[in-house]
Amino acid sequence: SYVEWYQKKYYQDLRDDYLTPDEWSALGETRAFLQPFWKITQLTEGRYATLDRSLFTMDVLHKHYTQAFQKHSGNATLRSCIAASWAVFDKYYQLTDESPAYGAAIILHPSRRVAHIKKNWPKSWHKPVLDGVRKHWKDYYHELPLPTTTPQLRDEIRRLDEYDLLARELDVVSPSMSELDEYDAFTTQPPIVIDCSPLSWWPIEEQQQKYPLLSRMAVDILSIPAMSAEPERVFSGPRRTISWDRCQLGSRTIERGECMKSWIKSGITQGYPVDLLEAEGIEDNVEGLDDSAGWQSSNPDSV
């Protein structure tokens, strides 16, 4: 390679920093070990990364550590480095047990569900995470009122004749959703391949009708960012919005402005009269200034 040619040609100048073939081999092994870490960082730091990637990628790293520790059994130096890194990783891996959200994000992923846990986790880990997620479902979502049935769906129900009702009683495919808990109905199904993110899959009308309450839980859980990088960027954004000559803007006005910027960038407002919305935002800014000015005039400490 060019690097080898360069080293040989200028060996006298580089001899203090010259890398031997064994050192190049060690660098290659180190790079191969670190590659999954680089890839996982890319997968979890973006604005579209959701919580389901956090625990899944940690499962990937757990498997990577296990295989690498065995693979490099004859390399004491690299093996000791892997062991030290593994100890730090396990510290954070165990912290995911403190919140049911991580396990729920895996279970509510239509391509993973409970099958991922049963296949990839030790059996002793199954019950705590499954019980924790089920408790979260029972405590916060199971008893919520069902969404109102749409007129179209009510019309379809009314059109069932006597034959349809009798035939339904003989159905052997699966229990109706009204007779089976939504959580059990979803988690007992085998994983399926989807062509979108799980967060995009759950709001689809078909899933909303099948799992009206579980879909709420899924959207709440899967909306949590995988890393703090994006929330920190969003937090830093308002500082650019609140320049020194706009520091009297109210908190609600700032919130609306940041939401509008995010929606425009993500394309959510596509097809809507954004100019009109921006004009309304300007009016809100004026109101925010008026509110702040009124507060300052009535607050003696602001003088």
- pLDDT at residue 255, as a whole number: 87
Q: What is the pLDDT of residue 235?
A: 81
pLDDT digits over 136-188, tens only? 999 999 988 877 655 444 455 456 677 877 776 776 655 444 446 899 999 99
26 vs 15 pLDDT, higher one: 26
Render pLDDT for 41-63 as a digit per residue (tens, 0 to 9): 999 887 778 899 999 999 999 99
| pLDDT tens-place string over residues 240-295 | 888 888 888 888 988 888 888 888 887 777 777 655 555 555 444 444 444 444 44
Residue 149 has what pLDDT? 52
pLDDT score, position 153: 46
- The pair of structure tokens assigned to 93 is 């891996």
User: Which pLDDT band, with edges at 50, 70 and 90, does 96 fall under?
Assistant: very high
pLDDT for residue 160: 63
Mean of pLDDT over the chain: 82
0.75 surpassed by pTM: no
187-223: buried (b, 16+ CB within 10 Å) or exposed (e) per residue?
A: beeeeeeeeeebbebbeeeebeeebbbbbbbbbebbe
Q: In this predicted structure, what is the pLDDT of residue 121?
A: 95
Tell me, what's the pLDDT at 173?
54
Is residue 285 a contact partner of residue 249, using CB atoms and an 8 Å limit? yes
Mean pLDDT along residues 6-20: 79
Domain boundaries, the chain: 243-295
The pLDDT value given to residue 214: 96
